[in-house]
Amino acid sequence: MGGRRYVARGVPGGYRIWDNKVRRWWGDHYELCPDALLAELNGAGDPARLTALLKRYRALKR
């Protein structure tokens, strides 16, 4: 049993998602911690749900 693949890390001005498997940043910079997005990425990974969550968190930046 390993750790989570995707984790949120605090960066100046907000959060970014770190991919532990490929050791690089995933996605955009977020002002609020994307908890629901992280749960979906580490869980089922349903493409329709991921798309909806990405749109939601991008809209919060505006």
Kindly state the tokens that stand for 38.
């992280």
Tens of pLDDT along 5-47? Answer: 999 999 999 999 999 999 999 999 999 999 999 999 999 989 9
pTM reported for the whole predicted model: 0.85
- Dihedral angle sign, alpha carbons of residues 34, 24, 27, 41: negative
**55: pLDDT confidence band, cut at 50, 70 and 90?**
very high
Q: How do the residues of the chain divide into helix, strand and coil, expressed in percent and rounded to 5?
A: 35, 30, 35
In the predicted model, is pLDDT for residue 2 greater than 80? no
CA 37 to chain centre: 5
φ and ψ of 47, to 5 deg: -60, -40
